[in-house]
């Protein structure tokens, strides 16, 4: 199958290209940074370019006429200016679809969205649950989902995949947690931060969900959560990381929500690249982010093989091999 992967130098995109290339597909990898493509050894035909939110993407003309599928992994998770979420996650998706539909009357299109589009929940959400995103990030991803459903051609086979917390090699986000555990102290929002519950998925299980969706064929737009069946608690995540680092369990420092709200307003002004923002805090405060992977198991035949311990082990080895930790 001839497949375009956007965000091919990203965390999920680079692993997806590895899998699809290994399984014999002809991959067209959209990259912005040749240096990062070299670092992650991105496979396939490299197409250097970026996604536009307001004008045609000229690199689309270099794609083959018989392209069969697109997996849109590109997007942003952190931004100090929330308008950027809509520019990149929403409007770039619309522009990409507009450019592609001008060339391809039939296409498989897979959007990698997020559990944030559905919202936080102490009970496992299903794909039919009412969407109630808390953050602008989540709202921008839900808006992108709606564009795929409403504005892309009916003749296209469209799938939306919503992963929860993704853990695995090459991930710069969870790297911060590893660093805090290594220091022995981890800040937590609220007095019971350690008890917060999360669905998670190893990046290797997630890319398998994507590949299975590429192989699947359905007329109606499908939505799937890709998630390991057993949720984790925040303190369990920290304990697992500490064990693999051969460190003592870190001390969780409970921070009052009110104080963190004040800090989240100040940090972007002092450190624009910081991950803690007012918008991100909306995702940190809830007691749980849970979703069910039952539909992906039943309809796609997904088998989730990467539990927390195995995931942490392979992630740590990668961080150490890159001298990130």
User: Average of pLDDT values for 237-266?
Assistant: 89
pLDDT band at 221, cuts 50/70/90?
very high
Which has the higher per-residue pLDDT, 248 or 256? 248
Q: pLDDT tier at 85 (50, 70, 90 boundaries)?
A: very high
Give residue 268's pLDDT.
65
pTM for this prediction? 0.94
The matching CATH number, chosen from 3.40.50.10490, 3.40.50.720, 3.40.640.10, 3.40.50.150, for 2-167+201-227+292-297 is 3.40.50.720
pLDDT interval class at 272 (50, 70, 90): low
Q: Does 266 have pLDDT greater than 80?
A: no
How many residues appear in the chain? 325
Q: pLDDT at position 265, please?
A: 74
Q: Is 89 helix (H, G, I), strand (E, B) or coil?
A: helix
pLDDT digits (tens, 9 = 90+) for 154-170: 999 999 999 999 999 99
- DSSP single-letter state for residue 205: H
In the predicted structure, residue 234 carries a pLDDT above the cut 80? yes
Q: Kindly report, residue by residue over 34-64, the tens digit of the pLDDT.
A: 999 999 999 999 999 999 988 999 999 999 9
For the chain, the average pLDDT equals 94
Which one, of 207, 222, 229, lies nearest residue 294 by Cα?
A: 229
**Is 271's pLDDT higher than 70?**
no
Nearest CA among 32, 23, 31 for reference residue 4 = 31
- Find, among 205, 195, 189, the residue nearest to 237 by Cα: 195
39 contact partners, CB below 8 Å, separation of at least 6: none
Helices (H), 130-201: 136-151, 172-183
């Amino acid at each position: 199958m001839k497949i375009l992967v956007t965000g091919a130098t990203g965390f999920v995109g680079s692993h997806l290209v590895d899998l699809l290339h290994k399984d014999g597909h002809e991959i067209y990898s959209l990259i912005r940074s040749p240096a990062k493509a070299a670092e992650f050894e991105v496979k396939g035909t490299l197409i250097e370019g970026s996604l536009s939110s307001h004008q045609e993407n000229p690199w689309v003309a270099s794609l083959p006429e018989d392209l069969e599928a697109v997996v849109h992994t590109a997007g942003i998770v952190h931004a100090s200016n929330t308008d950027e979420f809509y520019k990149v996650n929403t409007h770039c998706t619309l522009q990409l679809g507009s450019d592609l539909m001008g060339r391809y009357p039939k296409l498989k299109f897979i959007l990698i969205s997020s559990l944030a589009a559905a919202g936080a929940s102490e009970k496992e959400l299903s794909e039919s649950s009412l969407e109630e995103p808390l953050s602008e990030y989540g709202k921008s991803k839900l808006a992108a989902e709606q564009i795929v459903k409403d504005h892309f051609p009916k003749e296209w086979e469209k799938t939306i995949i919503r992963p929860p917390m993704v853990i695995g090699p090459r991930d710069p986000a969870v790297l911060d947690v590893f660093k805090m555990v290594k220091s022995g102290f981890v800040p937590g929002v609220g007095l019971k931060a350690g008890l917060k519950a999360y669905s998670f998925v190893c990046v290797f299980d997630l890319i398998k969900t994507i590949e299975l969706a590429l192989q699947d064929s359905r007329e109606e737009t499908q939505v799937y959560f890709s998630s390991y069946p057993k949720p984790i608690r925040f303190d369990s995540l920290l304990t697992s990381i500490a064990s693999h680092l051969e460190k003592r369990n870190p001390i969780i420092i409970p921070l009052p929500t009110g104080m963190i709200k004040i800090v989240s307003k100040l940090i972007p002004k002092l450190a624009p690249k910081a991950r803690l923002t007012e918008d991100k805090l909306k995702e940190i405060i809830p007691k749980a982010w849970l979703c069910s992977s039952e539909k992906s198991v039943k309809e796609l035949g997904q088998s989730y093989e990467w539990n927390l311990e195995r995931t942490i082990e392979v992630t740590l080895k990668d961080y150490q091999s890159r001298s990130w930790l």
